[in-house]
Structure 1
Amino acid sequence: MKAVYTDKHRSHDPQFFLVRGQVRRTTEQPERADRLLKGLKDGNHTLVAPTEFGQGPRARVHSPEYLRFLEGAWDEWTQLPDYGPEMIANFHPNRVPGNYPTHIIGKLGWHTADTACPIGVGTWAGACASTDVAVTAAQMVLDGEDAVYALCRPPGHHAYRDMAGGFCFMNNSAIAAEHLRLKHERVVILDVDVHHGNGTQGIFYERPDVLTVSIHADPVGYYPFVWGYAHERGEGNGLGANLNIPLPMGTGDDGYIEAMAIAEKTIASFAPTALVVALGLDASEHDPLAALKVTTAGFGRIGAAIARLGLPTVLVQEGGYLSDILGANLTATLGGFEAAR
């Protein structure tokens, strides 16, 4: 399996992370990519540089106002007196009916769902590079590759059409799915990150052409807390095109594979012709943010289960944070996929 990667992600180097009232350095660091690259090397995967696709693929998913905000945010921020080293909102209007703000502080609150998405001088460049990685992988699949892995950083599945959140700025998995839609009428996004893919769900919640499936830790006591419940099935024309499978805290390999079997049945009923996997590796028993207990061997089983879906596949990197086992878990996932294919 080929892997798409660029080191342009390094321009995004966030520092701020608020955990239970304590400020810490974020776990979404550039070093994540280094450890994932080690996993690709150990799996003998060939690296491919991304093509620059411009705003087109991003604009199919994100609103014009949001893209303008992200592109110009840092320049506006630095016009403020005594501006800080990162952009972090001090209020979130929660979209109670009101007016779209014109001041940068107002726009920052409007377009961010939480404080876990600090914007710095290189965030826009890094996020754009990440979307190019995802779209390049999708284009390679459209051109005939069976499966391609996209090493995306920053991740994307918490980003809504016009809001950043949870380390995510633009929704790479959604953008890849929309690119596949250029040739495929029905696409499925299978999210195996430990956190619910709330941004992806929000983007497609009223659409019947993209099935969104998320297997994640129970949001009762885990991020994103207010989305990701089993009763959320879509709305309007999208009713029935969203499946959430929340798992009890501490679920291990066998429980996760049982959830994959449930997902497989729903995917088969939807009859898609292409697949995007929002590949979080943070369900690992060793991940610093994990609530689940998947082993390295378990990730191999997850990869094999994905392969057995039998669809042209784009695997988009989502979560998976700094642990000694991160690269090995990626090697195991892709290896399990290849062995089962």
Structure 2
Amino acid sequence: MKAYFADEQRRHDPKSFLSSGAPKPNPEVPERIERLLAGATAAGCTIERPKSFGLGPIAAIHTPEYIEFLQRIYERWQRIDGASAEVIPNIHPIARGGSRPDSAVGQAGYHMADTSCPISAETYDSSCWSAWTAVGAAEAVEAGASSAYALCRPPGHHAFADVAGGFCFFNNSAIAAQRLRQYADRVAILDVDLHHGNGTQGVFYRRADVLTVSLHADPVRFYPFFWGYADERGEGAGLGYNLNLPLARKSGDEVFLEALAAAIRRIDAFSPDALVVALGLDAFAGDPFGGLSVTTSGFARIGETIARLGVPTVIVQEGGYLCDALSGNLTAFLTGFAARHKTSP
């Protein structure tokens, strides 16, 4: 299986975030890349650099005012007397309507859902290369590969069309799915991250051409809190094209795989021409976020189960944070997937 990654993705290096009101070191660090590259290599992947695809694939998902915000906000922020070293919002609108302030502080609150996605001088460029990594993998599948892995960092599934959040800036999984739509009439996104893919759901919530399915820790007491409930089924043309499968905290392999079977049934009923797997490895029992209790062997079984769908697949890296098993968890998933999925060179 080909894997895609660009060195520019290392440059984004956020320093802190707030967790339960307390400042802590940001866990979405460049070292994640080294662990994930090692895991992909151990699974037999060949690493390739994607090309720059320009803003077109990104603008197919994100609004122009949001893209311009990410391009310029760090420079604007530095002009504020006494501002923090990174762009971090301190005020948010209670509702999103037509009003968008001119000030950098106001726009930060408007376009950033929380404090876990600080923006530095390198964030925009790294986020573009992360998105192009997803597009590169989608392009490989479009060209005939049956699967490809995109080592996307920073991750993307919490990013809405015009909002960053949860370590995410551009929604790589959504961008990959939209790219696949150039040749595939129907695309499914299966999100197996610890956290609900709220941004991905938001992007496609009113569309019937992309099915969104997410397995995640129950948000009633877990990030992202406000999305990810079982009664969220889509709206308008998208009604019935979104499925959430929230899991009780500390659920292990068997519970996860039972929910995955339900996800697979729904995807089968949709009969997609292509699949995007939003792969989070933070459902692992030893992940720093500690929400679920999937084992390394469980990731292999998850990969095997997804592969049985037998459709062209782009695997997009989402979460999974520093722990001794991070590399091995990726190797287990990719190896399990490849064992059941016909993989082109």
TM-score class, shorter: over 0.9
- Quick one: which amino acid aligns to residue 253 of structure 1? D
Question: Per-residue CA shift, 1:174-233, capped at 9, x if unaligned?
Answer: 000000001111000000001000000000000000000000000111001110000100
Give the corresponding residue for 2:296: 296
Question: Per-residue CA shift, 1:275-294, capped at 9, x if unaligned?
Answer: 00000000001100131100
Relative to structure 1, is the Cα distance of residues 79 and 137 closer, same or farther in structure 2, using a 3 angstrom cutoff?
same
Supply the distance in 1 between the matched residues of 2:34 and 2:185 (Cα, whole angstroms).
Answer: 36
**Is 2:36 aligned against 1:36?**
yes
Give the corresponding residue for 2:176: 176
CA RMSD of aligned residues (A): 0.8
Please list, as runs of the form range in 1=range in 2, the aligned pairs for 1:133-282 lying within 5 A after superposition. 133-282=133-282
Is the deviation greater in 48-57 or in 75-84? 75-84
Supply the distance in 2 between the matched residues of 1:96 and 1:198 (Cα, whole angstroms).
Answer: 16
- Quick one: which amino acid aligns to residue 39 of structure 2? G
Secondary structure of 1:316's aligned partner: strand
Please list, as runs of the form range in 1=range in 2, the aligned pairs for 1:305-316 lying within 5 A after superposition. 305-316=305-316
Give the corresponding residue for 1:113: 113
Supply the distance in 2 between the matched residues of 1:137 and 1:171 (Cα, whole angstroms).
Answer: 14
The answer on whether the counterparts of 1:43 and 1:331 sit within 8 Å (CA) in structure 2 is yes
Between Structure 1 and Structure 2, how many residues are aligned? 341
Q: Which residues of structure 1 form unaligned runs of 5+?
A: none
The answer on whether the counterparts of 1:94 and 1:110 sit within 8 Å (CA) in structure 2 is no
Supply the distance in 1 between the matched residues of 2:238 and 2:272 (Cα, whole angstroms).
Answer: 15
The answer on whether the counterparts of 1:88 and 1:108 sit within 8 Å (CA) in structure 2 is yes
Relative to structure 1, is the Cα distance of residues 97 and 6 closer, same or farther in structure 2, using a 3 angstrom cutoff?
closer
Supply the distance in 2 between the matched residues of 1:338 and 1:94 (Cα, whole angstroms).
Answer: 46
Secondary structure of 2:315's aligned partner: strand
The alpha-carbon deviation at position 340 of structure 1 amounts to 1.2
Question: Per-residue CA shift, 1:97-124, capped at 9, x if unaligned?
Answer: 4521111111111001111110011000
Give the corresponding residue for 1:78: 78
The answer on whether the counterparts of 1:95 and 1:110 sit within 8 Å (CA) in structure 2 is no
Supply the distance in 1 between the matched residues of 2:312 and 2:194 (Cα, whole angstroms).
Answer: 24
Supply the distance in 2 between the matched residues of 1:186 and 1:45 (Cα, whole angstroms).
Answer: 27
The alpha-carbon deviation at position 96 of structure 1 amounts to 4.6
Supply the distance in 1 between the matched residues of 2:17 and 2:97 (Cα, whole angstroms).
Answer: 29
Supply the distance in 1 between the matched residues of 2:73 and 2:98 (Cα, whole angstroms).
Answer: 21
- Quick one: which amino acid aligns to residue 117 of structure 1? C
Supply the distance in 1 between the matched residues of 2:133 and 2:51 (Cα, whole angstroms).
Answer: 7
Supply the distance in 2 between the matched residues of 1:340 and 1:140 (Cα, whole angstroms).
Answer: 19
Q: Which residues of structure 2 form unaligned runs of 5+?
A: none
Please list, as runs of the form range in 1=range in 2, the aligned pairs for 1:35-54 lying within 5 A after superposition. 35-54=35-54
Secondary structure of 2:277's aligned partner: strand
The alpha-carbon deviation at position 44 of structure 1 amounts to 2.2
Normalising by structure 1, we get a TM-score of 0.99
The alpha-carbon deviation at position 95 of structure 1 amounts to 2.7
The answer on whether the counterparts of 1:89 and 1:108 sit within 8 Å (CA) in structure 2 is yes
The alpha-carbon deviation at position 41 of structure 1 amounts to 2.1
